[in-house]
Amino acid sequence: MNFLIRMNEQAEKLFKRYVDFHGFSLVEAYKTALLEINVDEYDIALSEQDYNEQS
């Protein structure tokens, strides 16, 4: 599966500096970011469910 991410030149430079500094690729950075978002949303959903069950 392929994805195309469009961004301006300033954002591209920022992301490239970030991954170079941390020693991983842009692909790894994007995958990690999406996974973290998914985990965070799952945690929020579980917390809301627990809260609603206790109410």
- Residue 16 CA, chain-centre distance (Å), reads 16
Task: Decide if 16 is inside a domain.
Answer: no
Average pLDDT over every residue of 10-36: 94
Residue 5 contacts by C-beta under 8 Å, 6 or more apart in sequence?
Answer: 30
Q: Is the pTM of this model over 0.75?
A: no
Task: Decide if 11 is inside a domain.
Answer: no
pLDDT more than 70, % of the chain = 100
Q: Domain limits at 33?
A: 25-55
Task: Give the span between the Cα atoms of 25 and 31, in whole angstroms.
Answer: 10
Task: Decide if 13 is inside a domain.
Answer: no
Task: Give the span between the Cα atoms of 27 and 33, in whole angstroms.
Answer: 10
Domains of the chain: total: 1
